[in-house]
Amino acid sequence: MLRSKIKAIMKQVDVYVGHHTIARGQMNIADGEDIMAYDFDKIVDRSNTNSMKWNVAEGELPMWVADMDFETAPAIMEAISKRAQHGCFGYTEIPDAWYQAYIDWWKIRHDFTMEKDWLMFCTGVVPAISSIVRKLTTPAEKVLVQTPVYNIFFNSILNNGRQVLESPFVFDGNAYHIDFEDLEKKLADPQTTLLILCNPHNPIGKIWDKATLERIGVLCAKNHVIVLSDEIHCDLTDPGCGYIPFASVSDICRDNSITCIAPTKTFNLAGLQTAAISVPNPVIRHKVWRGINTDEVAEPNAFAVDAAIAAFTKGADWLDALRAYIYENKQYAVQYVKEQIPEVEILSSEATYLLWIYCKDLPGSSREIAHRIRKKTGLFLSAGSGFSGDGDRFLRLNIACPRALLKDGMERLKRGVESL
């Protein structure tokens, strides 16, 4: 069943197997043999593993925080196992193979050539963002975010004594749009010195097009605001959809930006703490480098390097299979909600495994709705209020799980909504 479904999806899109592009409609069984081998239907028992996501009561189903309930790619597990069997876990340096893995992946998957000098290791995207906020802004300055947006951005700003400045998206009842008049006005504030861009955007799952990114880049450069682009979800797009690296759009975007990237979201490696920062501008790069070294977030643990190299050199086929499976999950959830839960609506999206659910006809705040659903059914969702903007009208649902768990979650959601 999984084999036939993945094959059907991949026939409609351009996919990557290893380092080779398979054109639309040209995938045959032999080409896809490895892709079909992964069992995403397998349910992994994550209880008693100190999992933050699964630290819930007996019988509860967590579909909130953004990590996946799938085993990572076999090549990554093999690399980690090989490293563990060595038995000596001293300090780790960054080898040339780590830089090349990032460079090759972005060239092949995203048609963007990075240079080795641009790249710096960091223990995670969030530590990188927090360090950059500290180093590139001063206390009481404003950091601009477009809301609703990843809630941890607010922590990185407020915990460092800076001010959050929101430019809310406009929601027309079906989709979100940037209010460029509001954005330009807030970028023009002399106290605004940094914009954190989410590309693709969490939680709304939007992939920004080139024209939009270019317009943002021009406005930021005009107002002397550096762009910090969080691109951790860049590989988790629907089959046939690709994202555009902000730094690839133009010379202006490249020279006035910092990009945070990682294999962790894509390959479910958050606990290994491995990421990269790409900064083409040497002046900005030096400041970022000084910041992450001062903050002691620039040194890898014993598994971080090998896991990243394995992901970006041997994980392509696994990823394409994953994307197809998540896309099927999305289609199932959207159809189920449409037919069974008319009180809510799942917004159309192109990226991430996070669905943004519009609680259009439900009473109460998102926190109240999420609490009541959890109390009634055990389904644990993220309340949209934490993402600010108009998030209080939404819930966020993580669908990166085996189909059986998704079906369970949908049934719980239906019961929960009916009980409100």
pLDDT tens per residue across span 247-279: 999 999 999 999 999 999 999 999 999 999 999
Supply the CATH number for residue 245's domain: 3.40.640.10
Within a 10 A sphere around the Cβ of 52, how many other Cβ atoms? 11
Spatial separation of the C-alpha atoms in residues 285 and 38, rounded to whole Å: 39
pLDDT, residue 384, reads 98
pLDDT exceeds cutoff 90 at 203: yes
> Is there a single domain that holds both residue 292 and residue 404?
no
43 has pLDDT over 50 = yes
Question: Do residue 55 and residue 15 come from a single domain?
Answer: yes
Give per-residue pLDDT as tens, 317-328.
Answer: 999 999 999 999
The confidence score (pLDDT) of residue 4 equals 45
Domain extent for 210: 79-314
Shared domain check, 373 and 285: no
Is the model more confident about 101 or about 35? 101
Distant-in-sequence, close-in-space partners of 190: CB < 8 Å, separation ≥ 6: none
If asked whether residues 39 and 86 sit together in one domain, one would say: no
Q: Above 50 in pLDDT, residue 16?
A: no
**Omega before residue 203 within 30° of 0, cis:** yes
The pLDDT value given to residue 36: 54
Mean pLDDT of the chain: 92
What's the rounded Cα separation, in Å, for the pair 71 and 81? 14
Query: Are residue 324 and residue 354 in the same domain, yes or no?
Result: yes
Maximum Cα–Cα distance for the chain, whole Å? 59
Residues 197 and 246 in one domain: yes
Check if the beta carbon of residue 226 is closer than 8 Å to that of residue 257: yes
296: how many CB neighbours lie within 10 A of its CB? Answer: 10
Residues 23 and 113 in one domain: no
Domain boundary among 314, 348, 376: 314
Q: Do 167 and 217 fall into the same domain?
A: yes
Section 412-420 average pLDDT: 97
- Domain boundary among the residues 314, 340, 361 is at 314
Same domain, 233 and 183: yes
- Mean pLDDT score, 95-112: 98
Domain final position from 256, 289, 314: 314
Does residue 218 register a pLDDT over 60? yes
Q: Is the pLDDT of residue 134 over 80?
A: yes
Question: Where residue 231 falls among pLDDT bands split at 50, 70, 90?
Answer: very high
In this prediction, residue 6 carries a pLDDT of 41
Statement to judge: residues 166 and 277 lie in one domain: yes
Helix residue ranges, H only, 341-402: 366-377
pLDDT digits (tens, 9 = 90+) for 170-190: 999 999 999 999 999 999 999
Do residues 204 and 349 both lie within one domain?
no
In Å, how far are 57, 147, 261 from 264, measured between CA atoms? 27, 24, 9
pLDDT band for 37, please (50, 70, 90 cuts): confident
Tally of structural domains, the chain: 2
Residues 322 and 310 in one domain: no
CATH number at residue 334: 3.90.1150.10
